[in-house]
Structure 1
């Protein structure tokens, strides 16, 4: 009878744990080298101290009176309306752009993606100047809009919406494209094999799958549009009741009434914190 040969175990499969290995793993998270701890604390202080200073210097007693003025509510209402409209524009054109970048392989796709995300790093003032050169009364496209349709976009509320959409849409595109790449395309292919057109598969199958990514991108785009300043003041100006949004009102109040500027800044800070709190499960760890 031939003896059976022992099958060697994988390396380290039954190897005893080294003494103190468990303690090292458990204690590794609590041990921070001093050369890393000091810059980390300095970085946290640099980011948190200005926000704390804003809270400390806030005129809490006069806050209700500062925030109930007609100019404040006018700027707040305009900001909310324009940011919502800019988000709607971003959804209508941004989701198809994200689908194109995620699902279609075409020459120059990397260049198109770079151009789409360029407003993320482009100075907002430069974006406003570019919008003027394109859509201004003497712009490349704006002159035809003015002569054919009598449509003037700069220094109007519609100009505010366009300026905010220009800087906010890349946030939506990046979020939706990432979600589309993570979604399994075989669901779309299965729908097409059952007779659905590609658009029907996108509408009935893909959109429900990527709805959380679209919602997160829309919230980010809305928050970015709400805080837009440079492109708005360059392309749309600063006219109370027509183009003066909250960031522009903060800038104007800082020159004449610093306490009002702090109060308005706290409103925008509260909105930003609310957005981050709503997206914490998607963009930040909860542990």
Structure 2
């Protein structure tokens, strides 16, 4: 690479490092789509160091994470690994919403568990953080999807629900990252996310355990991703300027409790219907 493009890379890296916005990039995506490898790539490229598998990625994005784990990129920017979705069921999307609303601690993630009780427990604890001068990071949702996957109708429906909910919470759409850029499917998947309303969509080729030879082109992709995330987060922060953080948090927590309560009621209704149907088959009357 000539000196001019190299200087551009260094300037972009410096700009990201010097930004003071308190931002947390919260990753979401199906298991094995490259979330942990994206973290490894970001740390390697931004700090301009040798590749290390600090996030515990499987070989060639095999999918190993089962918890949320923070990784510090700069003094004000963190990126949070996450357990991969399995089927993006309503419970999983509700849990993702709780994470975006700052109603979950770092640690083990259980997509199947009824977490209404956890939301109610976290509410007063998290509220206290808004009483201090140092407010929590602005959480920017980042949705990771592999370009090696075949897009289907179920993907579209589930992704749209997550994108819509994230927008309602933050006021901005999630940043979409298509990994496995070298796969021929990546452009069509990029278009599908555009049809779902996602505004910021990027294609990258992660560094992995099997392929971590640094190139300027791939470094550029990673740095551009981080730069887009910071700019989107700043936009979200500016949109919330003038709002009382405590009032906003109470409103978001109330919405989360309603979401999880509605899901619980629907679950009980379905189980009750199944019970009635089973009783009818046994020849008993049901009121």
* TM bracket, shorter-chain basis: under 0.3
Higher relative contact order, chain-length normalized (CA < 8 Å, sep 6+): 1
TM-score by length of 1: 0.25
TM-score by length of 2: 0.25
Higher helix share: 1
- Kindly name which structure, 1 or 2, has the bigger radius of gyration based on alpha carbons: 1
Higher strand share: 2
